[in-house]
Amino acid sequence: MNSSPSDIPRLRAGIFELSGISGVSLAAGGDVLGIRMVGIDPSIGMLDGKDLPLSLAAPVVGAPGLSYCRCEWRVPITPAGIHRYASRPRRQINAPTVVSYAPGEAAVLRIEWQFVGGTVHGRYSSDLPVRLALISNGCFSPAEVQRADLTGAELQLGTQRLYLALDGKAEPPLVLGDLLSHSSTCARWP
């Protein structure tokens, strides 16, 4: 995100919502842009929302002042892992429950980011091949997509602009207007 001299509020990075543990939010005043990674599978849709903190693989590590953060969580990738995840009881959803996967049933995803000099440098990694979706948009109001391709994206929200650079294997981006469109589109992916 770019900020010009003194007329724009100070840029801050952090985890501003529970689902944000799989990414990072950037805020300058009321303009808040977020980037987060979600696991997707046609049989269960997106692994996101309340299921994300219940899938943590390690405690979240963060530096004071949120200049650094690391988070790891599990995403089921085999039919047995998906069955194990989808068939767990949904009662007492706010109680800490952990799905115990057999080896190879779930990938461990990791995000590690650092906020230095007004720029977030981050990296997603996985211990096993997995299909993921990277979601980037305004956290509280929609951002306008200026550009989206295999190399990255550019989003505008108010006076703030987010430049997202991508590296590694990726599919052409889907530019969708809201999370519901994203969920239904992911459910139809082969």
> Which pLDDT tens digit goes with each residue over 9-37?
788 887 766 566 678 888 888 888 888 77
Q: At 179, is the secondary structure helix, strand, or coil?
A: helix
3 has pLDDT over 50: no
Confidence band for 189, pLDDT divided at 50, 70 and 90? very low
What is the average per-residue pLDDT within 149-168? Answer: 84
Q: Which residue has the higher pLDDT, 142 or 174?
A: 142
* Burial (CB count within 10 angstroms: exposed 0-12, middle 13-18, buried 19+), residue 188: exposed
Listing DSSP states for 104-131 in one string gives: TSEEEEEEEEEEETTEEEEEEEESS---
**pLDDT tens track for 76-101:** 888 898 888 877 765 555 555 677 88
Q: Of 128, 29, 119, 33, which is closest to residue 72 (Cα–Cα)?
A: 128
Q: CA dist 3 to 7, 9, 149, Å?
A: 9, 8, 24
3-state helix, strand, coil in the chain (%, to 5): 15, 45, 40
Query: What type of residue sits at position 29?
Result: G
Tell me the torsion sign for CA atoms 126, 132, 138, 140. negative
Contacts of 181 by beta carbon, 8 Å cutoff, 6+ apart: none
pTM: 0.73
Q: CA dist 168 to 8, 110, 127, 150, Å?
A: 33, 15, 15, 9
Per domain, the residue ranges of the chain are 11-188
